[in-house]
Structure 1
Amino acid sequence: MSDPAPVEVVNAEGGSPFVLLCEHASNHIPARYGDLGLPASELGRHIAWDIGAAELARQLSARLDAPLLLAGASRLLIDLNRPPGVPTSIPEMSESTPIPGNIGILAAERALRQAMWFNPFHEAVSALLEARQRAGRRALVVGVHSFTPRYQGVDRAWHAGVLFGGAERFGRVLAAAIAEDPALVVGENEPYRIEPGIHDYTVPVHGDARGLEAVLIEVRQDLLGDAAGIGDWAGRLAPALRRASDG
Structure 2
Amino acid sequence: MPLAVPLLNPADPPVFRIVGPTARSPLLLTADHAGRAIPRRLAGLQLSAAVLDTHVAWDLGVAGLGERLSVRLDAFLILHNYSRLVIDVNRPPDAPDSIVSLSEHTLIPANDDLSIAEREERRTALFEPYHRRIAAELNGRLRRGQPSVLVALHSFTPVHTGQERPWHVGVLHGRDNRLARRVLRGLRREPGLQVGDNEPYAVSDASDHTVVVHGEHRRIPHVELEVRQDLLATASGQQEWAERLAAVLEESLADSFPPLQGGESFLG
Distance 1:79 1:203 in 2: 14
Alpha-carbon deviation of 1:167?
A: 3.0
Q: Deviations over 1:125-154 (max 9, x none)?
A: 000000001111111101111001111111
Distance 1:94 1:114 in 2: 19
Distance 1:208 1:246 in 2: 21
Q: TM-score, normalised by structure 1?
A: 0.97
Match of residue 202 from structure 1: 210
Distance 1:50 1:30 in 2: 18
Distance 2:96 2:44 in 1: 20
Paired residues for 1:120-159 under 5 Å? 120-159=129-168
Structure 1 runs of 4+ aligned residues shifted over 4 Å read none
Aligned residue pair count? 246
Distance 1:21 1:201 in 2: 12
Q: TM-score, normalised by structure 2?
A: 0.90
Match of residue 226 from structure 1: 234
Distance 2:94 2:216 in 1: 21
Q: Percent identity?
A: 43
Contact 1:147 1:220 in 2 (8 A): yes
Alpha-carbon deviation of 1:179?
A: 2.2
> Tell me, what secondary structure is at the counterpart of 1:111?
helix
Distance 2:80 2:67 in 1: 12
Q: Higher helix proportion, which one? A: 1
Alpha-carbon deviation of 1:244?
A: 1.0
> Tell me, what secondary structure is at the counterpart of 2:146?
coil
Q: Deviations over 1:69-103 (max 9, x none)?
A: 11021110110100002111111111121111111
> Tell me, what secondary structure is at the counterpart of 1:212?
coil
Answering whether residue 50 of structure 2 is matched by residue 41 of structure 1, we say yes
> Tell me, what secondary structure is at the counterpart of 1:124?
helix
Distance 1:74 1:175 in 2: 29
- For 2:58, the aligned partner's letter is W
Cα RMSD (Å): 1.0
Candidates 215, 220, 245, aligned match of 1:237: 245
Match of residue 121 from structure 2: 112
Contact 1:172 1:188 in 2 (8 A): no
Match of residue 180 from structure 2: 171
Alpha-carbon deviation of 1:43?
A: 0.5
Q: Deviations over 1:6-60 (max 9, x none)?
A: 1112212211010000000001111110110111111111110000001100100
Distance 1:34 1:156 in 2: 33
Distance 2:127 2:223 in 1: 20
Match of residue 180 from structure 1: 189
Unaligned runs of 5+ residues in structure 1 are: none
Q: Deviations over 1:135-189 (max 9, x none)?
A: 1111110111100111111111100011112331210111221222111001111
Structure exhibiting the larger radius of gyration computed from Cα positions: 2
Match of residue 31 from structure 1: 40
Unaligned runs of 5+ residues in structure 2 are: 1-9, 256-268
